[in-house]
Amino acid sequence: MFESAEIGHKLSKGEYKRIEPVLRAELLDTQYQLLKDAKVPVIVLISGVRGAGKGETVNLLNEWMDPRHIHTHAFDSPTDEERERPPMWRYWRALPPKGRIGILFGSWYTSPIIERVFKRASGSEMLRSIGEINRFEKMLADDGAVILKFWFHLSKKRQQKRLRELQANRETRWRITDRDWDFFKMYDRFYKVSQEALRESNTACAPWIVVEGSDPEYRAVTVGRTLLAAMKERLKNRPAPPATVAAPLQRPVDKRDLLSNLDLSLSVPKKRYEERLKKYQRELALLSRHPKFREHTVIAAFEGMDAAGKGSAIRRVTPALDARLYSTIPVAAPTDEERAQSYLWRFWRHLPMKGRITIYDRTWYGRVLVERIEGFATEADWMRAYSEINDFEEQLSRNGAVVCKYWLQISKDEQYRRFKEREKTRHKQFKITEEDWRNRKKWDEYQVAAADMIERTGTSYAPWTIVESNDKLHARIKIIKTLCERLEAALAA
């Protein structure tokens, strides 16, 4: 992919002076149209060899357009905070909202390439990382993002010349470090690995644009025109909604599923409940203080029918934990800030550091539950969400997270009884709304959606625990016991 970027592309200064004012004016006008439209984020990745003009190009784009509406992020080695979380965490946080442009100087390709160049990762491991990135970019594109990936290239001879020129100039020598020369010594290996990475990730929804970086005028106009054309095209022509590509859902002919087959009569006597609750709270307290707990995080995700007892179950878990080590995230309808991003963004931002616990009271599964049933997401969107969620949870698990997912199930009659009790009890009245009664009318739809969700997202690294919750005491014991068992197994591994 690099051969055509080594032939000496060049633009005369006279030609550049003619093009530049018109180009920057059009870029600025189109940027404001994008901002006014507020429906499309533009993600610009700036990658490539050292000394090829990446930094100069980023500065130029900020000069040509309004930098107040450009989110520019430069990525180098991960910080201590970033190392505590999955590798993609820092990139999720940098994604621009709809209507804005995000320039990522360095990107999610840097680590897989460097790890492979220095033989800290095998070829198959790099390809796995690239496959993960392809699915991530496809998800962003399906959500409407424009993704432009620029690779700035120099031949080996031109890169050596460029580094020497920068080092010889008193005003630019600070930009050249020993690391630059160390990387240059491995030019041939970088060339081979980078070419493979680009070839495997050059997709229709996120293509690579290879730019020869030796001539500043040529590279500036190439990047500017490519960005302008992509923004204009998206503003002019909305892409067709993505087709449903997931395997079709199959309904059992006898209409039985995981939830309809539960024994909801399970219960625990009050005295036994109190004994076992103390036992498991004590066990959880010790596990969360174990020396090896610092190598893990715990993600506890609670879903279930309305009034199934999620909140009261969470309140039996937290007393066992050091308040400094956990946070509870109640999930409601997304805010305007959250609606401007991909649906998983608001969950990535709350991921805990190692040695911490995050409890989600409702979760990312809203995509395949309420958004599916209420029509807030198209069928294509919620169908593809199953695999996107599995990817998300796999990344959490690979980073040391213990992912515990609970579905709390009650009968329709028990839900009715609890709704009426809430209406009669003053300190519980805030828990019952017209929305709850309206959702109850769609009971059967929620049961089908929940069964589909459990079947498609129950994995070895993030299994579901289905909790029979007609008896709250039984439910609470099962939840905290399962949490202890999962955490104990992780610490013993």
Domains of the chain: which residue ranges?
3-236, 270-492
Q: For helices 187-201 and 110-117, what crossing angle results, to 10°? A: 140
Number of helices (H), then strands (E), belonging to the chain: the values are 20, 10
**Three-class secondary structure of residue 146 per DSSP:** strand
Q: Are strands 101-105 and 146-153 parallel, antiparallel or unpaired?
A: unpaired
pLDDT score recorded for residue 187: 94
268 pLDDT more than 80: yes
Residues 6+ apart with CB under 8 A from 43: 95, 96, 102, 104, 140, 145, 146, 147, 148
Q: Report whether 450 contacts 407 (CB < 8 A).
A: yes
**Mean pLDDT score of the chain, rounded to an integer?**
94
Return phi, psi of residue 404, to 5°. -110, 115
258 pLDDT more than 90: no
- Taking the C-alpha atoms of residue 384 and residue 85, their distance in angstroms, rounded to an integer, is 25
4-56 pLDDT, tens digit each: 999 999 999 999 999 999 999 999 999 999 999 999 999 999 999 988 999 99
3-236, which class in CATH?
alpha beta
- Taking the C-alpha atoms of residue 267 and residue 273, their distance in angstroms, rounded to an integer, is 9
Same-fold call for 3-236 versus 270-492 = yes
Q: Report whether 42 contacts 230 (CB < 8 A).
A: yes
DSSP assignment letter at 332 = -
Could you tell me where the beta strands, DSSP code E, fall in 23-116?
42-48, 70-74, 101-105
Closest CA to 383 of 241, 248, 205, 240: 248
Give the CA count within 13 Å in the CB-facing half-sphere of 129.
22
241 pLDDT more than 80: no
- Taking the C-alpha atoms of residue 73 and residue 64, their distance in angstroms, rounded to an integer, is 17
pLDDT score recorded for residue 351: 95
- Taking the C-alpha atoms of residue 91 and residue 279, their distance in angstroms, rounded to an integer, is 41
331-389 pLDDT, tens digit each: 999 999 999 999 999 999 999 999 999 999 999 999 999 999 999 999 999 999 999 99
Q: Encode burial over 75-101: b for 16+ CB neighbours within 10 A, e otherwise.
A: beeeeeeeebbbbbbbbbebbbbbbbb
With tokens 């400094």, the residue in question is 324
426 pLDDT more than 90: no
pLDDT score recorded for residue 237: 86
Q: How confident is the model at residue 59 (pLDDT cuts 50, 70, 90)?
A: very high
239 pLDDT more than 90: no
The whole-number average pLDDT for the span 107-130 is 95
295-342 pLDDT, tens digit each: 999 999 999 999 999 999 999 999 999 999 999 999 999 999 999 999
- Taking the C-alpha atoms of residue 266 and residue 250, their distance in angstroms, rounded to an integer, is 29
CA 259, distance to chain mean position in Å, is 29
Q: How confident is the model at residue 474 (pLDDT cuts 50, 70, 90)?
A: very high
Q: Are strands 42-48 and 146-153 parallel, antiparallel or unpaired?
A: parallel
246 pLDDT more than 90: no
pLDDT score recorded for residue 253: 72
183-202 pLDDT, tens digit each: 999 999 999 999 999 999 99
User: In the numeric block, which tokens belong to residue 303?
Assistant: 């879903």
pLDDT score recorded for residue 245: 72
pLDDT score recorded for residue 247: 75
431 pLDDT more than 90: no
76 pLDDT more than 90: no
244 pLDDT more than 80: no
pLDDT score recorded for residue 427: 83
DSSP assignment letter at 306 = T
Q: Report whether 314 contacts 328 (CB < 8 A).
A: yes
pLDDT score recorded for residue 224: 98
Share of the chain above pLDDT 70, in %: 100
Q: Report whether 365 contacts 303 (CB < 8 A).
A: yes
**Which superfamily, per CATH, for 270-492?**
P-loop containing nucleotide triphosphate hydrolases (3.40.50.300)
The whole-number average pLDDT for the span 115-135 is 96
DSSP assignment letter at 51 = T
